[in-house]
Amino acid sequence: MTTHNTLRSLPREHSGLFLIGLIVVAAAHTIGLLLPVLLPRLMTLGVDIEVTGNPAQWGLGEGGMRGWGAALPLIHAAMICALVYGVITACMSRVSVSAGLTRRATWRESARYLAGTAVVLWVLVLLAVLVALALNPAPQLLEGSMHPLVQLIPAAVKIPAGAALGYLVGMAFMRFHWIVGVVACVGLVTLLTSLPISVQLTPSSITEMVVVTVGAVLLAVAAAAASRGMIASLQIEP
């Protein structure tokens, strides 16, 4: 990440991510469309292929996966990508400070960079969802489930929350002993995997969606505040 003239460099730095994301979106939908056609033929040739994945975890029936079976998992892939970007960006903070950038400016530039990353990832998710909507505008839903299109709302908060959490974990490695960073990683994984499956994947009601969205906002704010405090006391090795 370039630490100087960030506003000028953001479009250039994120263009590669956007192009790669477009390829991933296209590949996911292509595989999703070809899989139902190819599987029977492969099975007739004696190829044993096990397809995993339960549509019920997305609030969809068996007939609702067309298009959405490719788009919805990309939301969580975008969250993971944002988290990785956050970790990498935090790990470059010491280099930026050593190069003469103040700690406050380093945090501010990192926040701008990760905000741009989150926007790009959400736009890619939007494109994936729009393709799914065109392919299957009225997917079969389980009773009590909402249309998967609403996932764009919590995704707009979950993605930057993932970036903020990743930055916090990266700062833990930079600011403290590596053991603290490992503990932070383990704690983060434990937190995320302990959430109810509906919260991890697809909220099934407006109330649950609001809770997930507000929770993600609070988590992002807390992670950003904690990482800002860490970078303020970041030590520079001689």
Q: What type of residue sits at position 118? A: A
How many angstroms separate the CA atoms of 179 and 173, rounded? 8
Spatial CA neighbour of 114 closest among 151, 81, 76, 154: 81
How many residues are present in the chain?
A: 238
What is the pTM (predicted TM-score) of this model? Answer: 0.82
How does pLDDT run across 65-99, given as a tens digit for each residue?
788 888 888 988 999 899 999 988 888 877 777 77
Query: Poorest-confidence range of 73-77, 99-103, 209-213?
Result: 99-103
First to last CA, the chain: 23
pLDDT band at 212 (very low <50, low <70, confident <90, very high): confident
Backbone angles phi, psi at 51, to 5 degrees: -100, 120
How does pLDDT run across 8-32, given as a tens digit for each residue?
455 677 888 899 999 999 998 998 8
Q: What is the DSSP string of 176-199?
A: S-HHHHHHHHHHHHHHHHHS-HHH
